[in-house]
Amino acid sequence: PARPAGLALAEGLPSGALTEAEAKRLAAGYGIPVTRESFAATEAEAAAAAEAIGFPVVLKGVSRAVVHKSDLGLVKLGLGDTGAVRAAHAALRAAPLPLDGVLVQEMACGEAELILGARHEPGLGAFVLVGTGGVLVEVLRDVQLAPAPLRPADARAMLRRLALWPVLEGVRGRPALDVEAVIDALVRLSWLATDLGERLVEMDLNPILLRAAGEGCIAVDARATLR
Ligand code: ADP
Ligand code: MG
């Protein structure tokens, strides 16, 4: 597959923390699958966006100042109809913290949550990491780190070293998960990290939801900081 021009993709983006939507567009530019989503400034826009995306949807409060949205009650999952979207919108807007708006996105599903990350360390270069993801990532510390860029075989070796690996292979009657899709996403993220070079401080896709073999993976959250 063709490798996109990373610095050009990042050209219009500000330095400092990107929004979830900006970080996902950067990842999507590298062919990493992300949720369908749109930004809404009002309740009416949120309802219209949800209808266009299709139910169930997720609503998230958007603010550049927030790092962990769910800690602040800013993630509303599994909204099944317009009424639920309007109620979630009102609840988000009632939060004490000023929001720039809300992000309406498809509700995705998967069998496991992974974190994929990229960093650029001044003087050392670009690195990528993969591990057990979700909101418990700092607690579980099941991560593997390697210098970028990666070949698919490097990405596979990192996955095999995770404590999560037996789950990816399928244990106790659970289906084998789409390891090839994660390998592809990790290689693409390593290209992004290499191409952005010093402009990249860090990027985290957490979580990427992983489905059964052949069904792919999808990043439902993204965070990035640029220089
Ligand atoms: P935080 O900023 O707290 O990391 P996330 O956007 O990652 O917020 O949402 C918290 C959790 O909610 C995720 O770890 C994931 O389990 C779930 N989640 C978030 N967005 C979606 C989505 N679009 N579809 C399904 N689950 C989601
Ligand atoms: Mg997250």
Question: How sure is the predictor about 8, in pLDDT bands with cuts at 50, 70 and 90?
Answer: confident
Our measurement of the distance from residue 111's CA atom to the centroid of its chain's CA atoms, rounded to an integer in Å, reads 16
State whether 115 and 210 are in the same domain.
Answer: yes
Please work out whether the CB of residue 105 comes within 6 Å of at least one atom of ligand 1: yes
Q: For the domain that residue 42 is a member of, what is the CATH number?
A: 3.30.1490.20
Specify the DSSP class assigned to residue 107.
Answer: -
**What pLDDT shows up at residue 136?**
79
Pick the ligand that lies closest to the CA of residue 108: 1
**What pLDDT shows up at residue 1?**
59
pTM: 0.95
Chain segment 46-61, per-residue pLDDT in tens? 999 999 999 999 999 9
d(CA 148, CA 3): 14
* Helix, strand, coil percent content, the chain, rounded in steps of 5: 35, 30, 35
Domain range for 83: 37-106
**Spatial CB neighbours of 156, under 8 Å, sequence gap ≥ 6:** 179, 183
State whether 95 and 180 are in the same domain.
Answer: no
Give the residue from 109, 71, 78 showing the smallest Cα distance to 210: 109
CA-proximal residue: ligand 1, atom 5 (nearest): 221
CA-proximal residue: ligand 1, atom 6 (nearest): 221
**In a domain? residue 192:** yes
Average pLDDT of 32-59?
Answer: 98
Q: Is the ipTM of this complex over 0.85?
A: yes
